[in-house]
Structure 1
């Protein structure tokens, strides 16, 4: 098999990582209604406070805003294939920090139940690709 055989699975991986993070963002803004983990921003801030118990409250709140901004940014970059390698590394590190915080604050089972380790590993795997198919990166690549 060649790299070209992996065009669609790579695209699927980009979308899977992106849509998973965007779903979490949608949840904290109340878009999932009853079928949600947080349901609103206030509950998300409380959850973030629980995960960042070691930080002062203002830094915990800042981390909630920062994580949300980065999840949206990296997701959009991955969907469009813009600076894909950087976005994949960013998503990988963001999810890794989330998994480690969950492990410390809630125990090792929590990030396993929500597949946060898988998401992080998938993002890091995506970052190792040599070419990003169906992407702005490919369209703008200099010959």
Structure 2
């Protein structure tokens, strides 16, 4: 491969990694925003939960293998994890660690959805695909659009 093709391939690879990080990170933050009503109230068009109470109810359904009393702590744990991982992925800080934990969290969501809501649900919401994208990011080095790369330079 000549140097022009190698440079093009490298640039495309960095853009794809940026796209994956932003897609995953923004998806996490968009879901968090929904559960706090930032996309609108419950029942509005394109709103899944609209408030935290409806998200807790959904969490209970997804995590039906656990006691009902665990719904609130699990809902808060998911919210904190998604917020932190979303920010880390968008910033490109501790990208490999954030990618591993994102993939694991998404697999947990997928398994919970499959057991609590049926196997079709995680496929409808592309949760397995998102988990795969997160795990693929684990094997990529930091691109020029990450804080990881910036901090390695200094």
What TM-score range do you get, normalising by the shorter chain?
over 0.9
Determine which of 29, 41, 47 is the counterpart of 2:36: 29
TM-score (norm 2): 0.87
Structure 2 match to 1:9: 16
Structure 2 match to 1:63: 74
8 Å Cα contact 1:85/1:127 also seen in 2: yes
8 Å Cα contact 1:84/1:132 also seen in 2: no
Could you say what the CA RMSD is over the residues aligned between the two structures, in angstroms?
A: 1.5
The alpha carbon displacement at 1:39 in A equals 1.0
Gaps of 5+ in 2: none
1:136 aligns to 2:147 (yes or no): yes
Q: Deviations over 1:82-122 (max 9, x none)?
A: 10000011111101000000001111110111111111110
Q: Would you identify which runs of 4 or more consecutive aligned residues in structure 1 move more than 3 Å? A: none
Distance, in Å, in 2 between the alignment partners of 1:108 and 1:88 is 24
The alpha carbon displacement at 1:60 in A equals 2.3
8 Å Cα contact 1:11/1:133 also seen in 2: no
Report SS of the residue matched to 1:141.
helix
Structure 1 match to 2:54: 43
TM-score (norm 1): 0.93
Distance, in Å, in 1 between the alignment partners of 2:94 and 2:111 is 26
1:105 aligns to 2:116 (yes or no): yes
Distance, in Å, in 1 between the alignment partners of 2:57 and 2:100 is 27
Report SS of the residue matched to 2:96.
helix
Distance, in Å, in 2 between the alignment partners of 1:97 and 1:104 is 11
Determine which of 114, 130, 136 is the counterpart of 2:125: 114
Distance, in Å, in 1 between the alignment partners of 2:120 and 2:64 is 18
Gaps of 5+ in 1: none
Determine which of 74, 86, 92 is the counterpart of 1:81: 92
Distance, in Å, in 1 between the alignment partners of 2:68 and 2:120 is 25
How many residue pairs are counted as aligned between the two chains? 143
